[in-house]
Chains A and B, each alone.
Chain A
Amino acid sequence: MAARSFSSPAALVSAAVAGVIFGIGLSVAQMTHPEKIWNFLDLAAIPSGGWDPSLAFVMGGGLIVAFFGLRLNRWLGWQQPVVGPSFIVTSRTKVDAPLVIGSAVFGIGWGLSGFCPGPAIADLGLVPQDVWLFVVAMFIGSWVAGQFIDAPARSVTPTPEATASAR
């Protein structure tokens, strides 16, 4: 049996293509600008007409495409992805305290900085001198938190296609 890998040459090419398209999307939509994020989050600006709903359009556009893209494999009855070994998705379904607490902490950091992980890393290609500290701190924060919540198991474990289908 030919050994498939998430890091086979073909998978790396695909990851590169996906990463570049993702980055172009963030940049074209100006999600790379913290000001643009703040102008969306600032609901108090609605009465004065200063609110910027752009971020909702970004999420909407992404959701519509991903809604179909993330189901296409099931519709087509694929047992495996095109080059990867299996479809990997979390098996967690329960809403728990870490989900809510972590998301709230993330939201506070997002509101204070105007940066979520994607745009922060994307900005390394535009204003690296301004964002590298944020990105380094983000990696450290993630690693330290991972020491507490993930040991010894990890958040994402390879699951058979059955799990992916079950969502």
Chain B
Amino acid sequence: MDHFTPLSALAGGILIGLASSILWLVNGRIAGISNIAGGIYPIRRGDELWRFVFLIALPVGAWLGYWVGPAVFAEVPRELPHITLTPLWLVGTGLLVGIGTRVGRGCTSGHGICGLARLSLRSLVAVVTFMVAAMIVVFITRHVV
């Protein structure tokens, strides 16, 4: 388990929980990324700008975290994500994630953090479903195929 990084994982999770709390308490909105992204179009006046701002701030934060993470935690390597997927694979899986989160009305943040924190039964079912589906897929791609 040499790549297990409990401290930075816990700290990152706390930051995500903090961000979700801010968006809820200050703005009154749930920090579900798929819903924030999916609600951008069609444009509904007054309900679109904050979505753009949040979605642009997200990669800015990720870039900051790239520098902050290794500076604070020895367990975090200063490494850019290594993406090995082919263009066709990226498009196919992107479509699945886009369709799935829209039909299931949430993703790892909306259902996984906010929904579970609200003790929503729907979110619990969603989280168990996408976790099990993803685990089966990874078992197949890593150990069967």
| A interface residues (Cβ-Cβ under 8 A, vs B) | 5-7, 11-12, 14-36, 38-39, 41-44, 49-55, 57-70, 72-73, 78, 80-90, 92-95, 98-113, 115-118, 120-128, 130-131, 133-146, 149, 154-156, 167
Complex CA–CA separation, A12 to B20 (angstroms):
15
Task: Give the one of B6, B40, B90 with max A CB within 10 A.
Answer: B90
Tell me the interface secondary structure of chain B in the complex: helix
Complex CA–CA separation, A88 to B36 (angstroms):
12
Task: Give the one of A12, A115, A141 with max B CB within 10 A.
Answer: A141
| B interface residues (Cβ-Cβ under 8 A, vs A) | 1, 3-6, 8-31, 33-35, 37-41, 46-51, 53-66, 68-69, 72-73, 76, 79-83, 85, 87, 89-109, 111-114, 116-122, 125-127, 129-139, 141-143
Q: Given the complex, which residues of B lie within 8 Å of A12, measured CB to CB?
A: 49-50, 53
Q: Are A113 and B57 closer than 8 Å at their CB atoms? A: no
Q: Are A23 and B59 closer than 8 Å at their CB atoms? A: yes
Complex CA–CA separation, A96 to B47 (angstroms):
27
Q: Known contacts being A20-B60, A62-B16, is A102 close to B104, with CB within 8 Å?
A: yes
Q: Are A21 and B22 closer than 8 Å at their CB atoms? A: yes
Q: Known contacts being A106-B101, A108-B133, is A11 close to B83, with CB within 8 Å?
A: no
CB of B38 to closest CB in A, whole Å: 4
